[in-house]
Structure 1
Amino acid sequence: MTVLPGDPPVPITLRRSARARRFSLRVSRLDGRVTLSLPSWAREADALAFARDRENWIRTALEQMPQGRPVEIGARLPVEGREVVLAPGRGRAPRLAGVLLEVPGDPERAGARVAGFLKTLARDRLSRACDRHAAALGRGYSRLVLRDTRSRWGSCTVEGKLMFSWRLVMAPPEVLDYVAAHEVAHLVEMNHSPAFWAVVARLFPDHAAQRAWLRHRGHELHAIRFGD
């Protein structure tokens, strides 16, 4: 880790790679983390000089990051691809009522309550999708786990455990369905070979639009802050 001086100073993560032949900079659209990749033989002082030469580019990229969207009463939130408005509610749990997501209890706890609601909804939708796709392949999976991951939307282990980001339930349903199909396909092919993509195409034909949505819009889901 190094720091680019200025107002404000910018932390930069250094990542050495034996395969790197030159310096390269990346600003994550998910969390604004700045990463500088450098050859294993390069000096840290030279890496920092490289970052200083590109300071304007770094700061412009950070300024263009989507601002965090707090989850609070009155805010808008995507649920299964549809914008709803958070409103005060009654009872024990949040409830969808048309264009409203009614959230009971202390408004200060709205973010945590909504996150819990979305996790429950995500488990239901992903379980259904994975069961359907696994049945189509005649395969089974060992368990389904939800996490709040930043680097990937899903994964599959050699033991058949499927992991997904629960934030997928905020995306359009067909996007969630594609990610489920993608990970279930790994039960047959633990790689990204042409054979793997052929399995994905069997489960979810014409998935290019869903992949593009995640590439261009997925960072918007990570920008939502639930305060948990």
Structure 2
Amino acid sequence: MISPDSETVVLRPSILGTPVDCPVRWCRSTRARRVSIRIDPRAGEVVVTLPMREPRRAGMALLTTHAAWVMQRLAALAPPVEFIPGAEVMLGGTPHVIRHDTSARGGAFMDGASIVVSGQPEFLARRVKDFMRAEAKRRIIVLAEGHAATLGVKIRAFRMKDTRSRWGSCAPDGTLAFSWRLVMTPDWVLDYVVAHEVAHLRELNHSPRFWAHVESLTPNREAAQDWLRDNGPALLRVG
């Protein structure tokens, strides 16, 4: 991929519809075989991917054809949640309020239903994110090691990422990777995602044997999948 560029494009949902400003990010890809569009919920914009030799007007034509769909999907995005004092973020499915306390020590930490952040205001957002990544890793390791013991498998390493489309992954060498944003989900949803990736240490596929391992580790497969489908995009709007 080469560096993308962004702009605001005016779209109409119909011939007589009111023009609306639409944030668009253009990407050219050596792997793309056709023009495609998708919504990036984290950035709150539509991404148009073009093959290297495809003119930008081909992307504009696709945007125009699907203008109503694009505008509907953008309007349906959850509002962004910034890491600022007074903002409410979820931890384990429970709301916590960010509280800035310059007299506190220790970076960021939980205090009841609050996330207390020490230090200067300009460091607050980074400290909240660092805290949430560390808390995600702590919770995930506990769950993963328990599930690994049940299946009799070994985890090589853990990685915390900030992926846009995958909540977790399992590498052939036994390294498990997870989105730190999972720390915001209810405990039973987090448990399912961790169980899913640990089960891949036995079956690096999605065969019936794999799903049997998952269901031996957690009873929440279907409910957790539904929760992530319905609520996952909102997690990408946080921070």
State TM-score, norm by structure 1: 0.84
Say if 1:119 and 1:166, in contact at 8 Å, map to a contact too. Answer: yes
C-alpha deviation, 1:36, in angstroms: 5.5
Are positions 1:77 and 2:89 aligned together?
yes
Tell me the C-alpha RMSD between the 2 structures.
Answer: 2.8
Tell me which moved more, 149-158 or 84-93. 84-93
Structure 1 residue ranges without an equivalent (≥5): none
Separation in structure 2 between the aligned mates of residue 25 and residue 149 of structure 1, nearest angstrom: 19
1:12-36 deviations in Å (ceiling 9; x for gaps)? 4477766x8xx76432434345355
Change (3 A) 1:8 1:185: closer
- Cα distance between partner residues in 2 of 1:157 and 1:129: 18
Q: Distance in 2 between the 1:37 and 1:59 partners? A: 18
| Length, aligned pairs only | 222
Residues 1:202 and 2:237 are matched in the alignment: no
Asked whether the 8 Å contact 2:41–2:237 carries over to 1, the reply is: no
2:132 aligns to what SS in structure 1?
Answer: helix
Gaps of 5+ in 2: 11-20
Name the CA shift for 1:133/1:24 in 2 (closer, same or farther; >3 Å): same
> Aligned equivalents of 1:98 and 1:157: distance in 2?
36
1:38 to partner: Cα distance: 8.8
Contact kept in structure 2, 1:24 and 1:38, CA below 8 Å: yes
Q: How does 1:1-228 map to 2 (within 5 A)?
A: 5-6=9-10, 7-8=21-22, 10-13=24-27, 25-35=37-47, 45-46=57-58, 48-89=60-101, 90-225=104-239
1:73–1:87 Cα contact (<8 Å) kept: yes
- Calculate the TM-score normalised by the size of structure 2: 0.80
SS at match of 1:184: helix
Question: 2: CA distance between counterparts of 1:124 and 1:130?
Answer: 10
Q: Secondary structure at the match of 2:96?
A: strand
